[in-house]
Structure 1
Amino acid sequence: MNDTPHFLPATMSHRAVTEQVIDLPLRFPPCRAWRLSLALSCALLTLFLVSVIVLLVKGVGVWGNNIPVAWAFDILSYMWWLGIGHAGTFISALLLLLERPWRNSLNRVAELMTLMAVCCAGLYPLLHLGRPGYFFWTAPYPSTTGLWPQFRSPTSWDFFAILAYLLVSIAFLYLGAIPDFAALRDRARHRMAQVGYGLLAMGWRYDAAHFQHWHSAYRFIAVLAVPLVFAVSGGYSFLLDLGTMPGWHSTVFPPYFVAGAVFSGFALVALLACALRQFAGWDQLITLRHLDMLARLLLASGWLTAYGYVADIFMAFYSGDPDERVVTLARLAGPTAWSFWLAVACNVGVLQALWWPKLRRSPRILCCVAVAVLIGMWCERFMLLVTPQTRDFMPSAWTDAYFPSFWEVSLFVGSFGVFGVPFCLFVRLLPMISAVEVKQALDRARRQA
């Protein structure tokens, strides 16, 4: 059954879609909210650049990492940002293959979120190398000196995972936007805009053969993208699984990380969808039913994450390993227990509000829940990463003395500017909803009515 009529008004016309979506970047309103968002993002980006300069000049010693807590905010932030990027591909690619038309109002936002989040994540492996100018040493390039990368090193995994995910995300986003670039080209009044959008449209003429090849290529990239979500998210869980620290040897980690990544990504998609709905007045394009579906997906993936919490604790005691029990007790009642309980409160407790349909369809409530989930998932990464390092195999090396430095925190806070500035520019220059796919869904619904 086609579910489009339940999400979009049956009386909505192609002209209304074009005026609301395609004309927005061409006749961008002097919006105060957009300017404030861009200004704040630029300030955060400046903070990020200053933090990077200090890091490159003084070295990674400006961070609060120590022995035994050698991994902290750098890997923590990398995992958090990379996890966020997964839901965009999941929403757009998987729901495309399942032919769920309600994705058409959300896929562009999700795809842009994926691209920006992967860029934010990709900066961290470069920066924590200490000498980022030699990042290409992690790639299998022809080397006359015989210095080949060590493929048992997680640094090499980062290179292939991020590069593959970034290329697929760019291809998927650009391919889906080609018909909308053509619409912008045809409706633009200024010559520069016509040329720019015309180059991006690659000669698209709304020909039947163009649509046929476009659909085939779009689905082919989707088929590549869906397993990549599980491969990359499950793969970076092995960063912990293959370590020697107690608390990192759970077989539930790969599905646990996949569920957590999709969970945090859904939260950011919901937050951005509510913001764009308010900013552009897209009440008819991003309806309350869309928010309801996002909330349901958020609730389902949240329960999968909660299962991961329970399974991880159960296996620690069921295994009979005393070191695993020590780490688990430290998570529950140690100095860093705040991260575990805050993660449970935000990812499980606050999430239960979404059982009520009225709350699921409230943009304000959904935004509050989404922010809580993003905070909770960051705390979860902290709990998983930092706490086991404070309780390793030697009690004489146990410590509670990890405190992040100012530059460590500023680098993470500034990374929101790396995300925000390009996203604001995309809102200004590109259609944030796939107009051609919304029109196709409306046509199919009317033929079946």
Structure 2
Amino acid sequence: MDRPHEVRLEQSILRPLTHTSRSWFVWVASLILLTGGGLVAYLYQLRNGLAVTGMRDHVIWGLYITNFVFFIGISHAGTLISAILRVTHAEWRRPITRMAEMITVVALLIGGLMPVIDLGRPDRIPNLIFNARFGSPIIWDFISIATYLTGSLIYLYLPMIPDFALARDRLQRSLPYWRWRLYALFALGWRNTPEQRRRLELGISIMMLLIIPIAVSVHTVVSWIFAMTMRAGWNSTIFGPYFVVGAIFSGIAGIITVMYIFRRIYHLEEYITVKHFRYLAYLLLALDLIYLYFTFSEYLTTAYKMAEGERLLLVQLLSGEYALTFWAFVGGGLILPLLIIALPWTRTIPLIVLASLLVNIGMWLKRFVIVIPSLALPLMPYESGVYAPTWVETMITVSSFAGFALIFTLFAKLFPLISAWEMKEGWEAEETIVVRTPAATGVAARPTRLNPETGGVSHD
């Protein structure tokens, strides 16, 4: 017989699958409208060519590649939260792993579209496959992202199998027949037998160990698209680790933001607590310090050598055309979040969420600063290039974020946001904990069990 706290858990995670409010329809309709606006803008670009964008001979990449690097970066949320925390047996991860894994898949889907939009001629994509030059970092990028997306889909699906079975068994009378059949199909005949659990744990463990190096390689290869050139600002040997740290940094900020939104909407305060926000904030603080170190190291070594091209780029960044963007990234995306999280009296849930929003805005600006100024700087003695995004690029950028929110909203409507079986597994582990006190005190060990009413810990 299910215990009260397990019944509450199942009700909390299954209710969004069966109940839809009017505000949900308004929200989805708004996202569809914004996404549709981006589709119209893309069709206009497809018909009239890339001349309708701000990209020209000098600045051949713009907002599209900025968005590409940004979305591939936040896709590392799933890798960090789910895979690394599983490896380290961090028990507090259990309520948030599903959302982290969803972020990875959705971000890869949106980010993977950006180079296609930037290409201008999507009909030439088959040439990338059939006439590939395997010495090109672009091909490496294509292969690594495709591998990462495939692995992430498998890694998302495997822990969902028991929850599909839960929906199959609990919601047969509450759902349309086609949705119930879909859950039954995806459950793969799950009956929670010891052999099924053993195989599931084995599959998750294998994917967990595979997905971490794959994820690290993905953003390393993304950085090589820039670092394998001789352009000022890109010709750097630290771009690989710099990009990976930045990706994990923005990924943590992404999961904090998403976690807060769905915690409020679906009233998951019992399972996603202050502890989860603070632990993620500590990780965000550590990554902020590391990324600040990389940023300081990058620009200090460049400024000390003062090669001609690098000098012109630094002038543009520190006091020229791109100074506002650069200092907004440093001040708003690095320093301010650092202060918010480092000070104990500002380490509250609303301010932690504010810090995460500032981080992701700052990291998008950083990607812009990486892509645009280096291209605007000429390799030959000509005048600098000028880049100003047009309404087409702006609309497609807005629609990419709307599309991210739309896909995630639909995911949350179709699939449980919290892994019920992992939560129950954690509770079962707590039931067998034995608290031992030092022998010198003469106090006997007391078994600690889960309170069947609240799900909390109690002593016999």
**How high is the TM-score relative to the length of structure 1?**
0.91
Q: Shift of residue 343 of structure 1?
A: 0.4
What is the distance in 2 between the residues matched to 1:324 and 1:346? 24
Which amino acid is 1:323 matched to? G
- Which of 104, 108, 113 aligns to 2:98? It is 108
- Which of 344, 348, 371 aligns to 2:330? It is 344
Q: Shift of residue 319 of structure 1?
A: 3.5
Which amino acid is 2:67 matched to? S
Correspondence for 1:402: 387
- Which of 128, 141, 149 aligns to 2:132? It is 149
Correspondence for 2:285: 299
1:159 aligns with 2:142: yes
351-360 vs 100-109, greater mean Cα deviation? 351-360
Correspondence for 1:125: 115
Q: Shift of residue 395 of structure 1?
A: 4.2
Q: Secondary structure at the match of 2:28?
A: helix
1:63 and 1:405 in contact (8 A); partners too: yes
Q: Secondary structure at the match of 2:119?
A: coil
13-22 vs 226-235, greater mean Cα deviation? 13-22
Q: Shift of residue 179 of structure 1?
A: 0.5
User: Which structure is higher in RCO with an 8 Å CA cutoff and minimum separation 6?
Assistant: 1
**Could you list the per-position Cα deviations for residues 24-50 of structure 1 after superposition, in whole angstroms to 9, with x for gaps in the alignment?**
31x324252x33331221112101211
1:421 aligns with 2:406: yes
1:252 and 1:311 in contact (8 A); partners too: no
What is the distance in 2 between the residues matched to 1:174 and 1:74? 29
Correspondence for 1:198: 184
- Which of 57, 73, 94 aligns to 1:83? It is 73
- Which of 14, 18, 21 aligns to 1:30? It is 21
1:18 aligns with 2:10: yes
What is the distance in 1 between the residues matched to 2:180 and 2:250? 38
Which amino acid is 2:341 matched to? L
Correspondence for 2:161: 178
Correspondence for 1:6: none
Alignment of 1:15-414 (within 5 A): 15-25=7-17, 27-30=18-21, 32=23, 34-139=24-129, 141=130, 148-188=131-171, 189=173, 190=175, 191-351=177-337, 352-362=339-349, 364-399=350-385, 401-414=386-399
Distance 1:36 1:304, change over 3 A: farther
Correspondence for 2:424: 439
> How many positions carry a matched residue from both structures?
428
2:224 and 2:240 in contact (8 A); partners too: yes
Which amino acid is 1:43 matched to? L
Q: Shift of residue 269 of structure 1?
A: 0.7
What is the distance in 1 between the residues matched to 2:318 and 2:279? 33
What is the distance in 2 between the residues matched to 1:319 and 1:254? 21
1:87 and 1:265 in contact (8 A); partners too: yes
What is the distance in 2 between the residues matched to 1:86 and 1:36? 30
Distance 1:128 1:193, change over 3 A: closer
What is the distance in 2 between the residues matched to 1:129 and 1:240? 17
Which amino acid is 1:134 matched to? R
1:292 and 1:357 in contact (8 A); partners too: no
What is the distance in 2 between the residues matched to 1:224 and 1:342? 37
* Structure 1 residues not aligned, in runs of 5+: 1-10, 142-147
Larger Rg: 2
Q: Percent identity among equivalent residues?
A: 31
What is the distance in 2 between the residues matched to 1:304 and 1:423? 30
What is the distance in 2 between the residues matched to 1:204 and 1:321? 63
What is the distance in 1 between the residues matched to 2:100 and 2:26? 22
1:83 and 1:260 in contact (8 A); partners too: yes
**Could you list the per-position Cα deviations for residues 248-267 of structure 1 after superposition, in whole angstroms to 9, with x for gaps in the alignment?**
11222111111111111111
Q: Secondary structure at the match of 2:382?
A: helix
**Could you list the per-position Cα deviations for residues 125-163 of structure 1 after superposition, in whole angstroms to 9, with x for gaps in the alignment?**
112222212312212x5xxxxxx3122334323321221
1:256 and 1:305 in contact (8 A); partners too: yes
Q: Shift of residue 194 of structure 1?
A: 2.8
What is the distance in 2 between the residues matched to 1:51 and 1:228? 34
Correspondence for 1:7: none
1:82 and 1:118 in contact (8 A); partners too: yes
Correspondence for 1:144: none
2:334 and 2:362 in contact (8 A); partners too: no
* Structure 2 residues not aligned, in runs of 5+: 434-447, 449-460
Q: Shift of residue 431 of structure 1?
A: 0.4
1:89 and 1:225 in contact (8 A); partners too: yes
**Could you list the per-position Cα deviations for residues 41-92 of structure 1 after superposition, in whole angstroms to 9, with x for gaps in the alignment?**
1112101211221121111221101231112112111111111111222211
Q: Secondary structure at the match of 1:99?
A: coil
Q: Shift of residue 424 of structure 1?
A: 1.1
Q: Secondary structure at the match of 1:105?
A: coil
Q: Shift of residue 396 of structure 1?
A: 2.4
What is the distance in 2 between the residues matched to 1:156 and 1:199? 36
